[in-house]
Amino acid sequence: MTRCGIAMLMAMPLLAAEVEDGKYRPSSLKGVEEAYLTPIFTSSHAANLLRLKNGDLVCVWFSGTAEGQSDVAIVLARLPKGSTQWSKPIVVDHHTGESYQNPVIFEAPDGALSIFHTTQGAGQGQANAKLLVTKSSDGGASWSDPKVLFDLPGSFSRQPLLVMPNGDWMLPMYVTPSRGITTGAESNYSLVKMSSDKGEHWKDCAVPESNGYVQPSVLAIGKGYQAYFRSRFADNIFQSTSPDGCTWTAPRKTELPNNNSSIQVTKLANGHLVVAFNNVGSVVAGGKPKAGPRKPLSVALSKDNGATWGWVRDLETGLSAEELAKLAAPQREEFSYPSVTQASDGKVTVAYTYLRHTIKAVRFDEKWIEAGGTMGTFKGAH
């Protein structure tokens, strides 16, 4: 983030400290509960949720002074099953001179926990990033020193692992030869890593023609798999399919817009799909698409395995252009990088970056999505 970006962030009206306690409260959106996780550093970004086998929810993200700076850490908070109170975050991993990003938490069939995350030299951009792994054998109370898992320059994680029916592990990944997310980002591409020995060894499974399509969010659908991609071209979410998790089709455009920001898809217990995304497409400048605004943040529902997305509803819309223009200081509104899962009580839960200041978690019933609408680009099929 630039100094100007930091100044804009610091100028924003943040929440009262007593609200940033991780406790769920009724939202202004009827039918939604919301919790603001306690910030322990200046900036927070890139949440990922995992429901553990015991029913607890765990959320991990990166937090520090600002993205890309030294000492940016991986942090973790927990919501015990049946509770309305997230724990205060703990620092899992940090290292002076390195900037950590994009944590993904995974529970192996034997109950061991792992967090996969990237590391890059502070202020050096993402082109030389590596992927690290740190492990816990006591339910997340303590964590091992991180070790390098993949050292291919530009290695990045973002989306959850899957355990396949035969016991193999599938880790969606992408590679970023460019320093940033715009110039040269068409060189970025996706792949899937597969392990048949509990993460000791991995093989590559290519996603053909995936240049510019990154952060694959993978689901098991029927006897095969679907992957949904962020587009560096800031146009649409793209989709690829695979019969076995290793042989993938070239990504194709879906009806859902994308602003070159992260998305995530989950499958509910009834088989329906929910995607969390910024419901806005490209912003064209100088004849070239640029990353669009990171609002509104919306959820969409599909009852036909992603063939169509019938309903969409906004979680965050932010201020209008007119309202922003009236403010005394410039504002950087951002509601982004959502993670979505279904909690043990059946509630759909979404955790996301709130103004780069903290992580906000919301929960609601599936029916809530069907009962609303959106100010965004895509209006849904119904």
**380 in any annotated domain:** no
3 state DSSP class of 37:
coil
3 state DSSP class of 228:
strand
Structure tokens at 230: 């962020």
Report which residue type is found at 65. T
By residue range, what is the domain housing residue 209? Answer: 3-370
Do residues 115 and 143 make contact, with C-beta atoms less than 8 angstroms apart?
A: yes
HEC readout, 132-189: EEEEECCCCCCCCCCEEEECCCCEECCCCCEECCCCCEEEEEEECCCCCCCCCHHHCE
Structure tokens at 336: 């982004």
**377 in any annotated domain:** no
pLDDT digits (tens, 9 = 90+) for 148-201: 999 999 999 999 999 999 999 999 999 999 988 888 889 999 999 999 999 999
| pTM: predicted TM-score of the whole model, two decimal places | 0.94
- Say what the pLDDT of residue 10 is: 34
Do residues 360 and 70 make contact, with C-beta atoms less than 8 angstroms apart?
A: no
**376 in any annotated domain:** no
Distance of alpha carbon 184 from alpha carbon 27, whole angstroms: 41
Task: Assess whether pLDDT exceeds 90 at residue 279.
Answer: yes
**70 in any annotated domain:** yes
Task: Assess whether pLDDT exceeds 50 at residue 289.
Answer: yes
Any residues with CB less than 8 A from the CB of 209 and at least 6 apart, and which? 250, 251
Q: pLDDT grade, residue 288 (50/70/90)?
A: low
**110 in any annotated domain:** yes
**What average pLDDT score do residues 335-343 get?**
98
pLDDT digits (tens, 9 = 90+) for 311-332: 999 999 988 778 777 777 666 7
Rg over CA atoms, the chain:
19
**123 in any annotated domain:** yes
**382 in any annotated domain:** no
pLDDT digits (tens, 9 = 90+) for 1-58: 222 332 333 334 457 677 999 999 999 999 999 999 999 999 999 999 999 999 999 9
Question: What CATH number is given to the structural domain containing 46?
Answer: 2.120.10.10
Distance of alpha carbon 198 from alpha carbon 170, whole angstroms: 10
Distance of alpha carbon 346 from alpha carbon 30, whole angstroms: 18
**381 in any annotated domain:** no
- Say what the pLDDT of residue 125 is: 87
Structure tokens at 136: 């816990």
Report how many domains make up the chain: 1
**What average pLDDT score do residues 206-227 get?**
97
CA distances, 164 to each of 5, 107, 193, 250 (Å): 42, 13, 12, 22
Any residues with CB less than 8 A from the CB of 142 and at least 6 apart, and which? 136
Structure tokens at 98: 């390195």
